[in-house]
Amino acid sequence: MVKKELKETATSALQTVQWHKIGHWIFLIGILVAIVAGFVAVPYLAIMLIVAGLVVGLLNITAGEVHEFLTASIALLLVGAAGLGAVALVGAAVESILKNLVVFVAPAALVVALKSIWTLAKAA
C-alpha cells in the first residue's frame, strides 16, 4: 500500500516538473559559461559543456525546432572552425568563446539529429 502511494507520488512529481524550463535554464547557463570561459580558466569546462549540451538536446529542442536548431548548429560549427584568432585585439577571446560554444552545441546537435533520425525511422 505504502509502496504504491510512493510510486504515485513520485510519478505525479515527475509529471509536474517543467522539463522544458529546466532545459531552457541549462541552455542559458551553458552559453554564459562558454562566454566566461573565453576570458578565464574554468576547471572541467569541456565535461560541463558536453553534459549541458546533451541535456539541452534531450530536454529543450521540440520536434518543430529540429530543422532550425540543426541549421544554426551547422552554422555555428562552421564559424567555430573558421579560426578567427587572426582578428586583431579580440581574435583570441572570440576564437576561445566560439570553440567553447562548439563544444556546448555539438552534443546537443548530435542528440537532436539522432532523435530526428529515430522519429523518421519509426514513421517508415
Q: Where are the domains of the chain?
A: 2-123
CB 77 within 8 A of CB 105: yes
Distances (CA, A) of 39 to 23, 36, 87: 25, 6, 16
Amino acid at site 90:
V
DSSP 124: -
pLDDT in tens, 52-72: 999 999 998 888 899 999 999
pLDDT in tens, 1-14: 566 665 565 555 55
Amino acid at site 97:
I
Whether 84 shows a pLDDT value over 60: the answer reads: yes
Q: What residue has cell string 578567427?
A: 84
pLDDT above 70 as % of the chain: 81
CB 77 within 8 A of CB 106: yes
Residue 40: phi and psi, rounded to 5, are: -130, 155
Q: What is the mean pLDDT of residues 73-98?
A: 79
Q: What is the mean pLDDT of residues 34-59?
A: 94
